[in-house]
Amino acid sequence: MALHQLLPSTSTFTPTSSLNPTSNSPPSSLHHIRRRKFSNFRCSASSFPEKHHNNSMNSPKPDDDLVELPLFPLPLILFPGAILPLQIFEFRYRIMMHTLLHTDLRFGVVYSDSLTGTASVGCVGEIVKHERLVDDRFFLICKGQERFRITRIARTKPYLVAAVSWLEDKPSGDGAPEDLEMLATEVEGYMRDVIRLSNRLSEKPEKEVGDLRRNLFPTPFSFFVGSTFEGAPREQQALLELEDTAARLRREKDTLRNTLNYLSAASAVKDVFPSA
């Protein structure tokens, strides 16, 4: 049974890399989450992992604990709270949109690429604004909601529908509320330093970095931080799959610290060799 993997059809889909821990070039400003440009997608044949065709990917779950969710495989990761603009023009996904606009406006976004296949954990995208064009294409603005895990494929035509279970962060064994707040504050501090050095290396005007927490609690803040790691989809997927806020914040802190070390070294080289 095959799943058609969605790939960018033109250069208009270029996720703006806010933090790429594996890149050799300096990351851009972290507070730029995603380019506000509609992304176009087309389909090319790809195999859907066999594990999704089993009744369960992990331990069997009663059907009462599962819900059916239309799936939209994309070469990006959607996090809870993040905004995703899309342009829909392929026939099967136009059918999906017609159905969703008359029901609950929600579908599942799952990461998919030609190397790793389709992820088993994704995020619900809720349509918060849409425009239907005369040729039946759709412009959508979606917002990330809860996470889910694919348990089995319910059907593949006219579009992919899966039975999913919901994912929530579990209480950390060592994550008291004050510890989570401290972790979130440390992560925010690293983000500020990365933005400052990144702007300096890019020769952008020095300016005060605004409030990055925006009064977010640690869990939604950890999702916001993950959404800024564009250009590193495997790292983003790993962060999305974690079910422990403290573990997610610690991993993000390590990534930001490594990025800051890289930027600090690059800044020192630039000071010594200004023309380099």
Q: Does domain 2-167 have CATH number 2.30.130.40?
A: yes
63 and 155 Cβ atoms separated by less than 8 Å: no
- Cβ count within 10 A of residue 65: 10
Q: Rounded mean pLDDT of 141-165?
A: 96
CA distances from 232 to 27, 44, 47, 268 (A): 11, 23, 23, 25
The CB density around residue 175, as the number of other CB atoms within 10 Å, is 19
Rg of the Cα trace of the chain?
Answer: 20
pLDDT digits (tens, 9 = 90+) for 117-132: 999 999 999 999 999 8
pLDDT, tens only, 59-110: 455 566 899 999 999 999 999 999 999 999 899 999 999 999 998 899 999 9
Residues 6 or more apart from 201 whose CB is under 8 A from it?
A: 26, 263, 266, 267, 270
- Report the share of the chain in percent with pLDDT over 90: 55
Is the bond leading into 158 cis (omega within 30 degrees of zero)?
yes
Please report which confidence band the pLDDT of residue 47 belongs to, taking 50, 70 and 90 as the band edges: very low
**Where exactly are the structural domains of the chain?**
2-167, 177-272
Lowest-pLDDT choice from 47-56, 145-154, 173-182, 218-227: 47-56
